[in-house]
Homo-oligomer: A and B are copies of this chain.
Amino acid sequence: MTACSVRLQIFLQLQAVNKELCSKFESCLGASTSRVEILHYLLQHEEVSQSALQKEVNIDAAAVTRHLKQLEAAGTIVRYKKADDQRATWVKLEEEAKRHIEQSYQEKSQFVKETFAGFSEEELEQFLKMLSKVSVNVSHVTKNQFGGETK
């Protein structure tokens, strides 16, 4: 309350907002943000290897494998290997599923629109810049700036 700097508030608020955002998103769309991102990436790319997908959605390879196995079991996607490389697995949406996912794409757009209601385009640009700046800053933080002596 008292000595709580603006920086600290932002730090906490960032996490709080993100949590609310993901939670509400999931209850609205019926799937986690990760799951939805995977599906929307597939909607826009026809065919992709797991490792490429993993880099795009930025979650752990193990998590990707588990998502895709579930989606395959549900009949949403197909997975297959190609002759030239038996290591890589390729993924694509079932035709059947595309329509349903197109609809959820609309819902996501609407959700995102609501989320940033009342922001001017200028503010949005600035928001994005700030987030990117934080990202750069964080990536430059190194462990040994802290704790110092390993007493």
Contacts and interface: CB of A to CB of B under 8 A. Distances in A.
Interface in A85-116: 107, 109-116
A16 interface: yes
Copies of this protein chain in the complex? 2
B112 A11 contact: yes
A9 to B, nearest CB: 6
Contact of A130 (B9, B18, B119, B135): B119
A131 interface: yes
Interface residues of A, number: 60
Most buried by B among A19, A138, A140: A138
Contact of A27 (B13, B37, B107, B143): B143
B134 A17 contact: yes
